[in-house]
Structure 1
């Protein structure tokens, strides 16, 4: 069984490419995510973020290119590499007719863990995410914030080295968002790596120590957050790289006076 190299980059992408018909969704992307980093992947809608992360985590086969997690080639060692990755995908439906406890337990059992270990870890995670009182409630009846937290618990139960989270804070209230950020920072401080895709530039600037800007399926800038944003805010640097800002005040009929 292949072993991961903890000293190597948490995620290394080279020449990653994906087409959907005539559309080139991901255009020969190269990206290195340092081990132990809190990495933000930002870009406009349709930039290729979700497609890139889906290929990087073994959910979507690339047309070309390679992906490795701590030196382990994802698409050559698909099952083994997935043991080291926790994934929260944006928009993917959960088995929401299960209770919270059942869903986390199911995720653990799917990972091949012993039932006794799953039971212990599920209890720990429900306590960590303040979901103990809702453990017997069907996930379909959870709020948006609770749903994000139970999905994150499912991504964590097999103790991955790398967490890949696609829009983890979308539709999440400020309290739940703050709690999730605290948990993610604790994960990074313990040696894990978090990769977050988000539209919230201010949040990424405050939360992430590394960032990559992607648009039209290409990486426009990558490095430490401070290096990428330079002397401006990350949002201003993002708009400068991506383009498209409009400075007009709108039509006359929209003005009150």
Structure 2
């Protein structure tokens, strides 16, 4: 139909490339998303302390990583940092190579990009909480750290789950840009396949379907998590 030819999919080498690409994409998305959520929580905690210099530092971080393209951040981490001396010598070839691998650079840049967005999401969740809740925790003798993790995070995370879902799905899709710095994820292997087979349309259609399936699974999982964590008066429990 439409002259599409998927006979190349029978080749075990291409099958292995696609499976490896999907696995690497999932690993990159999982690692960067986990770190981004942690950065978001800690950043929101820092902002809630109302310390002038800490507020300024976190706001600077958010502005830098939220307002610059993730691809630029990856290229900066992979190429620019090595020119600043962050490189090592390959024991096999004897050549100088970047200290951080392409995968590590992509993971770091995506984590910082997602973390900057997550800080804003968690901050909005904290700001919607009634002051009476935090005051009740203080009157019960909870420390600032205990109030944050035992009271504020469980409630704020439910409020900001829709925003976090958008951030995580966006982060998942942005992993495709890591192919530019030779991270062997799905888009990287897609380029290898259509360069070999000259079946660009067929490969791109297949990759599009794979991304739709993977991101749909993520979105569905987040929606189920949101429904499971619903509390009366918060999130979908309103």
Shorter-normalised TM range: under 0.3
Q: Which has the higher strand share?
A: 1
**How high is the TM-score relative to the length of structure 2?**
0.25
Q: 1 or 2, which has the higher helix percentage?
A: 2
Structure of greater Rg: 2
